[in-house]
C-alpha cells in the first residue's frame, strides 16, 4: 500500500516538474545557507580556540605598577614594584603550578649584514612551560645559565626568517646592542595572538643576562611582570585572591591603599573571546534558519495549489473507496519527498560552497557531522510541518463537492 502511494506521489510530482523544482528550491537554499553559516561560525570558533591555546592555559599576568613624575604618569610596568623574590613567594602558594618572572623590551638584533628589531624576553626556563611552548631545534637554556648570566638565546620563527634567512641558526652568533649571543634553540611557531600580534617575533634569553647586559636596570632583581600558571581553571579564583593578599603584604600596602601592581586573568579574556564567537555562530545560524522557514512556507503554498488543482481527482479516489487517511498519507508523502530531496541537494550545495570559500580565501571552515545532521533534521521537520496542513485539507474534502468541482 505504501509502495503504491509512493509511486503515486512520485508520478504526481513528475507530472509537474517545474512546480516541484521551484518548491524544492526553497529547501535547497535554506539548508545550503544553514550549512555555510554554521561552517563559517564553527571555523571562527576553532580559530579563536587555537589562538587561546597558544597563549597557555590557566594563566595570570602580574604587571609592575606605574609611577608619576612632574604630573606625567607612566603606563603599567613602568615602576620597579615587582622583583624575583615576589615570584619565588608566589611559587609557594597552593594551586600555583608554574611561575616565570619576565623582563622584556624591544632591541635591535644584528647578524652579519642583516638586522631586525624584535622583542627580547629575559626569563627563566619555566616560561616555556607556562606558555606551553615547544622547541623545534636545539635546546632551552637552564637554571645554570640564569645563575651564570650566559649569553645564549632561543629564537622565534620570525626572527629566524628575518635575521638568519636560509642559514641554520643553531650555533650562530648575533649581537644585541653590541653584545654577542649564541643561538641554542629555535621556538615552534605560534602565529598571531588574539590581539593580532606576531608571537613568533621574539627571542628569549636568561633573566639575569637581560637585566645586567641588555636592559641595564638600576634596580637589581626587579622584573616587569610575572607569569603565573594555576594547576586548573577551578583553582584560579583561589590563586588570584592569594596572590593579591601576598603581594599587598610583601609590599606593605595598608588597608585603603591601591595595589602597586596590575593583575590580568588571561583565562577570563580567552573565555570572553570564545563567548563572542559562540554568540556570532548562533546569530549566523538563526539568520540562516529564516531561509528554512521561507522554504517551508513555499512548500505549503505549492501544496495548497496542488490540492485545489486536484480536487476532482481527490473526489474520484474517495468515491472508489479511498479513506481519509489514504488521502492524507499521499499528500504528506509528497511533502516529505520534496523536503528530503531539497535537504540532500542543499547539503551537497552548502558543503561544496563552504569548501570553495576555504580554498579561495583561506578562511577557516569547520564542517561537523553533528551540525549537518541537525540542519538536515530541522529542514526535514520544517517541510513535514508545513506540508501537513495542505494534506489535512485534502483529506477532509467532501467527496460530493469534490466531484462537482470544475
* Mean per-residue pLDDT, 155-181: 91
Residue (of 115, 57, 61) closest to 264 by Cα position:
61
Are 239 and 99 a contacting pair, CB within 8 Å? no
Predicted local distance difference test score (pLDDT) of residue 74: 62
pLDDT, position 282 = 77
d(CA 176, CA 212): 13
With a pLDDT cut of 70, the percent of the chain lying above it is: 90
Cα–Cα dist 55/268, whole Å: 12
pLDDT recorded at residue 80: 77
Which pLDDT band, with edges at 50, 70 and 90, does 100 fall under?
A: very high
Q: How far apart are CA 333 and CA 10, in angstroms?
A: 9
Q: Stretch 219-239: mean pLDDT, rounded?
A: 86
| pLDDT for position 72 | 64
If you average pLDDT over each of 75-89, 223-237, 255-269, 270-284, which comes out highest?
223-237
Reference 64, options 47, 55, 77, 48; nearest CA is 77
3 state SS of 109: strand
SS (H, E, C) 38-50: HHHHHHHHHHHHH
Taking 80 as the threshold, does the pLDDT of residue 295 lie above it? Answer: no
Give the residues across from 262 on adjacent strands: 63
pLDDT value, residue 258: 86
Question: DSSP string spanning 3-29?
Answer: HHHHHHHHHHHHHTHHHHHHHHHHHHH
| Residue 118's pLDDT band (cuts 50, 70, 90) | very high
Q: Where are the beta strands (DSSP E) in 124-231?
A: 135-138, 152-155, 173-176, 179-187, 202-206, 222-223, 225-230
Q: Is the pTM of this model over 0.95?
A: no
Q: What is the pLDDT of residue 155?
A: 94
**Alpha carbons 95 and 238: distance in angstroms, whole number:** 8
Q: Decide: 190 and 82 in contact? Cβ < 8 Å.
A: no
* Cβ neighbours for 92, distance < 8 A, ≥ 6 positions apart: none
Closest by CA to 73, choosing from 258, 266, 207, 210, is 258
Query: What span, in angstroms and rounded, lies between the C-alpha atoms of 326 and 315?
Result: 13
Residues of 320-337 as b/e, b for ≥16 C-beta within 10 angstroms? eebeeeebbbbbbbbbbb
Report which secondary-structure segment, H or E, holds 53. helix 17-55
* Per-residue confidence (pLDDT) for residue 177, from 0 to 100: 82
pLDDT digits (tens, 9 = 90+) for 8-17: 767 776 777 7
Q: d(Cα 71, Cα 73) in Å, to the nearest integer? A: 6
CA atoms of 201 and 103, how far apart (whole Å): 16
Please give the average per-residue pLDDT across 356-373, as a whole number. Answer: 80
pLDDT of residue 169: 92
Q: Is 76 helix (H, G, I), strand (E, B) or coil?
A: coil
For residue 402, which of 336, 344, 342, 324 has the smallest C-alpha distance? 324
Distance CA 396, CA 406 (A): 18
> Angle formed by the axes of helices 2-15 and 17-55, to 10°?
100
Integer CA distances (angstroms), 264 to 25, 236, 261, in order: 52, 12, 10
Contacts 24+ apart (CB under 8 A), 167-172: 168/137, 169/137, 170/137, 170/138, 172/111
Neighbours of 219 (CB within 10 A): 11
Predicted local distance difference test score (pLDDT) of residue 319: 83
**More reliable by pLDDT, 250 or 275:** 250
Amino acid at each position: 500500500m505504501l509502495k503504491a502511494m509512493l509511486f503515486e506521489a512520485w508520478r504526481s510530482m513528475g507530472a509537474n516538474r517545474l512546480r516541484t523544482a521551484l518548491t524544492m528550491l526553497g529547501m535547497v537554499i535554506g539548508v545550503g545557507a544553514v550549512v555555510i553559516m554554521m561552517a563559517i561560525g564553527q571555523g571562527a570558533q576553532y580559530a579563536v580556540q587555537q589562538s587561546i591555546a597558544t597563549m597557555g592555559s590557566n594563566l595570570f599576568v602580574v604587571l609592575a605598577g606605574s609611577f608619576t613624575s612632574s604630573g606625567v604618569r607612566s603606563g603599567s610596568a613602568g615602576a620597579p614594584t615587582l622583583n624575583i623574590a615576589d615570584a619565588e613567594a608566589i611559587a609557594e602558594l597552593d594551586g600555583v603550578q608554574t611561575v616565570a618572572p619576565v623582563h622584556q623590551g624591544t632591541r635591535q638584533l644584528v647578524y652579519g649584514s642583516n638586522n631586525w628589531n624584535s622583542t627580547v624576553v629575559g626569563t627563566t626556563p619555566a616560561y616555556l612551560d607556562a606558555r606551553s611552548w615547544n622547541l623545534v631545534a636545539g635546546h632551552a637554556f637552564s637554571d645554570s645559565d640564569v645563575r651564570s648570566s650566559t649569553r645564549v638565546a632561543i629564537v622565534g620563527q620570525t626572527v629566524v626568517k628575518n635575521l638568519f634567512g636560509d642559514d641554520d641558526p643553531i650555533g650562530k652568533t648575533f649581537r644585541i646592542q653590541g653584545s654577542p649571543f649564541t643561538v641554542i634553540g629555535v621556538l615552534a611557531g605560534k602565529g598571531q595572538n588574539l590581539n593580532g600580534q606576531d608571537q613568533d617575533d621574539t627571542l628569549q634569553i636568561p633573566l639575569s643576562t637581560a637585566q645586567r647586559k641588555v636592559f641595564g636596570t638600576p634596580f637589581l632583581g626587579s622584573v616587569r611582570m610575572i607569569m603565573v600558571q594555576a594547576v586548573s581553571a577551578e583553582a584560579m579564583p583561589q590563586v588570584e585572591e592569594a596572590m593579591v593578599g601576598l603581594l599587598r603584604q610583601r609590599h606593605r600596602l595598608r588597608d585603603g591603599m591601591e595595589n602597586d601592581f596590575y593583575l590580568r586573568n588571561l583565562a577570563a579574556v580567552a573565555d570572553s573571546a570564545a563567548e563572542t564567537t559562540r554568540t556570532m555562530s548562533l546569530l549566523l545560524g538563526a539568520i540562516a534558519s529564516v531561509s528554512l522557514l521561507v522554504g517551508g512556507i513555499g512548500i505549503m503554498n505549492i501544496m495548497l495549489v496542488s490540492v485545489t488543482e486536484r480536487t476532482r481527482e481527490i473526489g474520484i479516489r474517495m468515491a472508489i473507496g479511498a479513506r481519509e487517511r489514504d488521502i492524507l498519507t499521499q499528500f504528506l508523502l509528497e511533502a516529505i519527498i520534496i523536503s528530503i530531496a531539497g535537504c540532500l541537494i542543499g547539503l551537497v550545495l552548502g558543503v561544496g560552497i563552504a569548501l570553495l570559500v576555504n580554498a579561495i580565501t583561506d578562511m577557516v571552515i569547520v564542517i561537523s557531522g553533528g551540525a549537518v545532521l541537525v540542519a538536515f533534521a530541522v529542514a526535514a521537520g520544517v517541510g513535514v510541518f508545513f506540508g501537513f496542513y495542505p494534506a489535512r485539507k485534502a483529506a477532509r474534502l467532501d467527496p460530493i463537492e469534490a466531484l462537482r468541482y470544475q
